[in-house]
Amino acid sequence: MDYPMQDGVFTVKVRSANAGYMLRRWNVDCSPDHHLQGLEYALWLQDPLSLYGSSNATIAPGYEPPRIQLVERRTDGQATEAP
């Protein structure tokens, strides 16, 4: 399949509700470090965070929800990373 790319970028605007389905159908690598192996993953998502909040992002190949770092405040005012 040929993609109409400009400067190596293929841009498509879709509704959030359809994003995961479309990315899965086109076999787009949505992993943060673009690590999926296989010839079917000829395309990769430039900004995986663009899927954050999409209701079906989890079905996109390689998608990982962003990790939220929790910080606790101790009684002495120091901040520590929560487990």
**Residue 8, domain member (yes or no):** no
6 sits in the region (left: phi over 0; alpha: psi -120 to 50; else beta) called: beta
Question: Residue 78 above 90 pLDDT?
Answer: no
**Residue 1, domain member (yes or no):** no
The answer to whether the pTM exceeds 0.95 is no
Tell me what the mean pLDDT of segment 23-51 comes to. 90
**Residue 46, domain member (yes or no):** yes
Q: Which tokens is 37 given?
A: 């192996």
Amino acid 72 reads E
Q: Based on the structure, what is the number of domains in the chain?
A: 1
Question: Residue 19 above 70 pLDDT?
Answer: yes
Tell me what the mean pLDDT of segment 5-29 comes to. 87
pLDDT number for residue 71 = 60
Tell me what the mean pLDDT of segment 19-34 comes to. 91
Q: Is-contact 13 53, C-beta < 8 A? A: no
Q: What's the rounded Cα separation, in Å, for the pair 69 and 3?
A: 38
